[in-house]
Amino acid sequence: MASRGITFTEKDKKKFKEIIIKHMEETNGATLQGAAKKCDITYATIWNFRQKDTEFDEIIKKLLYCRDESVLDLAENQLYSNIAKGKEASIFFTLKTKGKERGYVERVESHNRNANFNISADDIDKERAKKISDTLDALL
């Protein structure tokens, strides 16, 4: 890597930033590590460029945001494809996350002598729900 201990001229910094932005655009924002490798500089150098140049940092943030949105679109498309193929894990995941208003919610139920508590798994994890249930059983 060429950037360790080297001071870049403003012209060099500008050229590196242009290459980094172009690389990120061409690869749909793949990784900053890949952009650093393409420029033969360290990731830390890009980080330093971003810290010192807010305009450059904003461009990189937008490119990374677009990359993340593309990945989410791809994942959603694959999820829908899996649902259409009848893959149960995808169906269950979708019902648990998107079907809550229709009653597809995992619950941990605790039946006590004097009360019936329904604790949603969305609000509390199962281990903690078990401890609460045990505590209530001991108190009642």
pLDDT digits (tens, 9 = 90+) for 17-33: 999 999 888 887 778 88
pLDDT of res. 123: 60
DSSP H or E segment with residue 116? strand 116-120
Predicted confidence (pLDDT) at residue 38 exceeds the cutoff of 60: yes
Report the predicted TM-score, pTM, of the whole model to 2 decimal places.
Answer: 0.61
Query: C-alpha distances in angstroms, 46 versus 3, 35, 43?
Result: 10, 9, 5
Q: Residue 61 — pLDDT band, cuts 50, 70, 90?
A: very high
Task: Pick 103 or 132 by higher pLDDT.
Answer: 103
